């Protein structure tokens, strides 16, 4: 198109590129400032028994709420944060928000509730980071926490089994494999790991009714997971039909999804602030 526009094409595109680069620079600076200012916090989404809807746990999800009260989602800042090596600081801010509010949450939901924490693939194999994270959990309560590693973290299962998983087991922290069935799936890798839970990705959950093939894949994952003694959780259940289909066609009893609960900031959940901050406008989808 630039060529077709002739000489003017360049004039048209050059300032644009300049602005884009400038915008990125200022976004980098904003992200760094946000980390320094401690603007990252924790939203929670319920994990439920899909038969009754009873809450069995919560998953901690990172949110960036800036000074103006604008909230940004992980997809809007995690990739850049990862490139800028800010993920560890962000993760610790999220965990601190969770543990600071734990007494209040326990008063509301009881102490049988477990809390899941997400870590990036790089963090998953970083024994020092994982130890720091574990040490941040309230003493004597590590067994109430589950660390979610994504399937991508399983590239080096030997490393995980040699260092990180024994450390977590020793501390009493549980381990879950998140987003399973998204494409990097390896059933043999799963079989070689000592973990506690398997979360089946919503892309699989949301297509089982339309794609019989995905139903077979889900059944295979379920039967291996069950044989390995893992808890199986279905992610991204949005409709009653999806829930009913799972109940009728699988033995899965644990799930998460908008049908049951949309993630809420902890501050909102414990009644500290009356409502959610406004979502960021689309143009800030710069990750
Ligand atoms: P995830 O761990 O698989 O978390 C589930 C994501 O799916 C969340 O998005 C949640 O809001 C969304 N979700 C839950 N139920 C439904 C549903 O029924 N339908 C749909 N369409 N979506 C649903 P969120 O909060 O935007 O997080 C996205 C991803 O970012 C997470 O996926 C996780 O991989 C990552 N993430 C979030 N917080 C952290 C964190 O503190 N550290 C790291 N390293 N990664 C994080
Ligand atoms: Mg997760
Ligand atoms: Mg997940
Ligand atoms: Mg997922």
Residue-wise DSSP of 8-26: HHHHHHHHHHHHHHHHHHH
Q: Does ligand 1 come within 6 angstroms of the Cβ of 94? A: yes
Which residue has the CA at smallest separation from atom 10 of ligand 1? 263
Separation of alpha carbons 146 and 250, rounded Å: 24
3-state SS, residue 60: strand
Provide, for the chain, the percentages of residues in helix, strand and coil under a 3-state DSSP scheme, each rounded to the nearest 5. 50, 20, 30
Does the Cβ of 66 fall within 6 Å of ligand 1?
no
What ipTM goes with this model? Answer: 0.98
- Tokens representing 219 are 């059944």
Q: What is the pTM of this model?
A: 0.90
Atom 11 of ligand 1, residue of closest alpha carbon: 263
* The ligand 1 atom nearest the CA atom of 90: 41
Terminal Cα-to-Cα distance of the chain (whole angstroms)? 26
162 CB contacts (<8 Å, ≥6 apart)? none
Q: Which-ligand-closest: CA of 257?
A: 1
In tens digits, what is the pLDDT along the chain, a chain of 287 residues?
344 444 444 445 555 667 777 777 788 999 999 999 999 999 999 999 999 999 999 999 999 999 999 999 999 999 999 999 999 999 999 999 999 999 999 999 999 999 999 999 999 999 999 999 999 999 999 999 999 998 888 888 888 999 999 999 999 999 999 999 876 667 888 888 999 999 999 999 999 989 988 899 899 999 999 999 999 999 999 999 999 999 999 999 999 999 999 999 999 999 987 665 666 654 444 43
User: How, if at all, do strands 55-65 and 70-72 pair?
Assistant: antiparallel
User: What's the gap in Å between 284 CA and the centre of ligand 3?
Assistant: 23
């Amino acid at each position: 198109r630039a060529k077709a526009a002739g000489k003017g094409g360049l004039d048209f595109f050059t300032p644009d590129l300049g602005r884009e680069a400038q915008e990125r620079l200022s976004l980098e600076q904003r992200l760094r400032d946000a980390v320094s200012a401690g603007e990252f916090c924790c939203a929670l989404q319920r994990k439920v028994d899909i038969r009754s809807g009873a809450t069995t746990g919560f998953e901690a999800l990172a949110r960036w709420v800036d000074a103006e009260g604008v909230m940004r989602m992980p997809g809007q800042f995690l990739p850049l944060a990862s490139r800028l090596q800010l993920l560890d600081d962000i993760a610790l801010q999220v965990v601190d928000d969770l543990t600071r509010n734990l007494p209040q949450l326990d008063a509301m939901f009881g102490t049988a509730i477990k809390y899941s924490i997400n870590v990036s693939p790089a963090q998953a194999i970083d024994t020092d980071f994982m130890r720091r994270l574990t040490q941040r959990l309230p003493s004597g309560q590590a067994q109430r926490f589950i660390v979610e590693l994504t399937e991508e973290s399983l590239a080096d299962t030997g490393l995980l089994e040699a260092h990180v998983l024994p450390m977590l087991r020793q501390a009493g922290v549980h381990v879950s494999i998140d987003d399973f069935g998204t494409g990097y799936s390896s059933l043999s890798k799963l079989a070689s790991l000592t973990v506690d839970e398997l979360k089946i990705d919503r892309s699989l959950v949301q297509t089982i009714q339309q794609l019989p093939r995905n139903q077979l894949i889900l059944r295979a994952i379920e039967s291996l997971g069950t044989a390995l003694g893992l808890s199986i959780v279905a992610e991204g259940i949005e409709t009653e039909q999806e829930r009913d289909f799972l109940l009728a066609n699988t033995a899965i009893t644990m799930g998460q999804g908008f049908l049951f609960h949309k993630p809420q900031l902890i501050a909102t959940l414990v009644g500290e602030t009356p409502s959610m901050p406004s979502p960021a406008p689309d143009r800030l989808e710069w990750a």
